[in-house]
Amino acid sequence: MVLLQSLKVLLLFSTLFCVHGQKCGRYYQNGGICVNYKSNEDYIFYAKGQNVLSVESSFGSLAIAQGLSTLQDDDLILGNCVQAFTSFVCAIAFPSCKRIENLYVPNLEVEIVPPCKSTCTNVIESCVTNLKNASTKTQEIIKEYILSHTFFPQDCNGNITTSPPLNFEYPTERCNYSPQLSNRPKCFNPLTEDHKWIETNKSEITSKEFCRNGCCLPCPQSYALYPLNQMKNGFMATQILRIFSVIGSGIILFSYLVLPRKRTHPDILILFASFSIFLYSSNILFSINRPEKVQCATEIVPSTQINNPFYCGLQGALLIFASHATAIWIGFIILNLHVQVVWKSNIMDDKRIYLHVIGWGIPAILTIVALKTYSINYQFATLCFVKVEASNVIFFYPLAVIVVPIFFIHMTTSSYIYWTGRKGKKSNPSFSVSIAHLIRIQWRELLLFVLFFVTVTIYWLFYCIELKSIVTRNNSDVNFLDWINCIQSGKGRSFCANNIASKFMPHYSLILIAEISASLIGVYLFVTIFNEILWLELNQWISETFSSKEIL
């Protein structure tokens, strides 16, 4: 009995999905052209050897018409025409399947239900009759993508022959216009659907800045405006450089921590500078391998210190603190060299408490201000930072107050060494030797400051000039709308990036230069400070430390 029932179920199942070399199945393509007109619960008919994707690939420009219609959601003539034509195409390409309810018939059949004649006449009325009342742009879209379409019916008489499997007359009884089952917009990659807009029946949107008529620019937004994976691969490379910076600054920090002679003035200034640079470079640990944790609060909404307090808020705060601390402690190194060489003074050794108050206090104050004013957002690359409109006041102007005077002190010290050396060489050869010795000792610190100064300058110029074109775009910007129209016209991400977005977005090489320069601070520290003497001292310490443990 059980076997007989199983055979009946198997027979029913097989006949439901296979009818004389052809088959019925469910519409399974989630982002397909007919997603609004075919339910996943209903069975549709298509020929053997075909699937939903292969059938829809023959629809050609219909997807473009849907995409452009989505952008002009308030254009009723265009919307009604595209909706009517899509309903017609989907109805004839995927006619409904209906199983004949008779379990006692030896050879079960599946009845194909052709679309109603009203589905066809509605296309003529919406796309031809009303065309004269449409705007010029709407007329161009309808003529180019719909009226010239191979599926567009010349009239609604005779049999349905547009779709190869069908050769039926249009039924007229108990018919309707085949209304939409859902209101999902057609969004071409990289745009993504606004689920909130769909769920609330167009009454709410996820983001006013990044969504328009049901299509949203996904987070991180800047990535979408460049060719596929270009930004992702570029920033992956800079993340690797930041890892090298962590390692390089970590080696210097460890060396100056464990070697007793490096914990005395003036070497202790390098210790605190290396700690600041290590803290700055270590921000990569928040985003390594998964930068979207820092970049995005949701699929569409970028991170802020409010919606992503740990990955964005804490990471941004540490970045602000470490950046200013690095500038101050490198400045102290240059200032100490200046007072030693020019003023023959060692005053900074006696004022350590003031150095710490300034070196850690000022960065802490600036970080608190940034947090209190909610100024930490994701802007670009893989890190959260100060938002562009507040960046000068909170970050770059204070940094300039630190760096610019130190730059002039650096130039004064270098000039003094140069001119004093020339004079000393004429009057006292031994003096010139001492100057040369001083230069050999201090050139590394001088070079470190020069590299840091160049890095700050490059990053400031990029952040305050070029970055504005990334973060100030909105859905009413003319250039941005041109890019969206390009995407929704089905021209592809790479074409639109190279031909449209390239006109208003920063050049890819400028972004990489800015990010690479900021990623190499720890590498700069290691290259300038680590030398043969430090290696020998560190090697000796390691040998003495571990050999003494073995003896004990």
Residue corresponding to tokens 């059938």: 55
Give the pLDDT confidence score for residue 74 in this predicted structure: 80
- Cβ contacts of 537-541, under 8 Å, gap ≥ 24: 537/255, 537/259, 537/261, 537/262, 538/255, 538/258, 538/259, 541/258, 541/259
CATH number of 222-550: 1.20.1070.10
Give the pLDDT confidence score for residue 116 in this predicted structure: 82
List b or e across 283-311, with b for residues whose CB sees 16 or more CB atoms inside 10 angstroms. bbebbbeebbbbbbbeebbbbbbeebeeb
Residue corresponding to tokens 């490096």: 262
Per-chain mean pLDDT for the chain: 82
Q: Report how far residue 366's alpha carbon sits from residue 449's, in angstroms, rounded to the nearest whole number.
A: 22
pLDDT tens across 482-530, in order?
898 999 988 999 999 999 988 888 888 888 999 999 999 999 999 998 8
Lowest-confidence pick of 30-44, 278-292, 398-412, 504-518: 30-44
In this prediction, residue 15 has a pLDDT band, given cuts at 50, 70 and 90, of very low
CB 317 within 8 A of CB 370: yes
To the nearest 10 degrees (0 to 180), the angle between helices 267-281 and 521-529 is 150
Domain ranges of the chain: 21-169, 222-550
> Could you give phi then psi for residue 500, rounded to 5 degrees?
-115, -60
Give the pLDDT confidence score for residue 263 in this predicted structure: 84
Give the pLDDT confidence score for residue 239 in this predicted structure: 92
- Say yes or no to pLDDT of 287 above 60: yes
- Say yes or no to pLDDT of 78 above 50: yes
pLDDT tens across 453-490, in order?
899 888 888 887 777 666 655 555 777 888 989 999 88
More confident residue, 369 or 472: 369
- Say yes or no to pLDDT of 299 above 80: yes
Helix (H) or strand (E) holding 210: none
How far from each other are the two terminal CA atoms of the chain, in whole angstroms? Answer: 84
At 121, the amino acid letter reads T
Q: Where are the beta strands (DSSP E) in 289-425?
A: 376-380, 383-386
Give the pLDDT confidence score for residue 249 in this predicted structure: 94
Give which of 215, 449, 482 is closest to 327, Cα–Cα: 449
In this prediction, residue 129 has a pLDDT band, given cuts at 50, 70 and 90, of confident
